[in-house]
Amino acid sequence: MAGLFLTLEGLDGSGKSTQAKLLAAFLEGRGLPVVLTREPGGGLPGVRDLLLNPLKGPLSPEAEYLLLSADRAEHVRKVILPSLEAGAWVVSDRYLDSSLAYQGFGRGLPLPWLLEVAKEATLGLTPRLTFLLDLPPEEALRRVKDPDRLEREGLAFFQRVREGYLFLAKEEPHRFVVLDATESVEAVAQRIQAHLLPLLP
């Protein structure tokens, strides 16, 4: 594929959405075609409200993951792969690693099952680089002003999610770039850009 797939991961409040926008603007400034997207909702827009709206009521962890996977399957097939094949750089605010961290480590679902479902949902598509914005859970919760359904899970849940992210990063050091999200927005953006310079045409 002519394009390149980049993802941003981290706890809620870590600054992913801000950094995704800054990264897209940086790449566009270098003359590259860019598609900025996000999960959940990148493939099935209505799924985001169903998953995150606290007024929608509880979901079982299994249903939560399968809804995310359905959205991801559409996201890959309708947005990410066509964009990559057309030569665009795709920047996604969350992807599969979010589910492994939140539904796997956070909810306690077995990773082998999550990965088995993901293999078909994603067609095996893996990001070239994943920028993990690492933030202490206490700080993440402090930053969230209007918590959604997942953000209301509490400190212990987010501690498990962070541990999950760091485990995944250790398992794939060639793909993950772990960044200190307590640094300024500008400093984090500069670190991301520095990692990408060798990949730029």
**11 is annotated as contributing to ligand binding:** yes
Interatomic CA distance for residues 172 and 22, integer angstroms: 25
**106 is annotated as contributing to ligand binding:** no
Sequence-ordered strand ranges (E) for the chain: 4-10, 34-38, 89-93, 129-134, 176-180
Report residue 182: phi and psi, to 5°.
-85, -10
Sequence-ordered strand ranges (E) for 56-172: 89-93, 129-134
**10 is annotated as contributing to ligand binding:** yes
Name residue, tokens 């400034």.
29
- Using alpha carbons, select from 139, 135, 131, 64 the residue that is nearest to residue 102: 64
**17 is annotated as contributing to ligand binding:** yes
**13 is annotated as contributing to ligand binding:** yes
**119 is annotated as contributing to ligand binding:** no
Pairing relation of β-strands 129-134 and 176-180? parallel
Pairing relation of β-strands 4-10 and 34-38? unpaired
**16 is annotated as contributing to ligand binding:** yes
**180 is annotated as contributing to ligand binding:** no
Annotated binding-site positions for ATP: 10-17
The annotated binding site is made up of 10-17
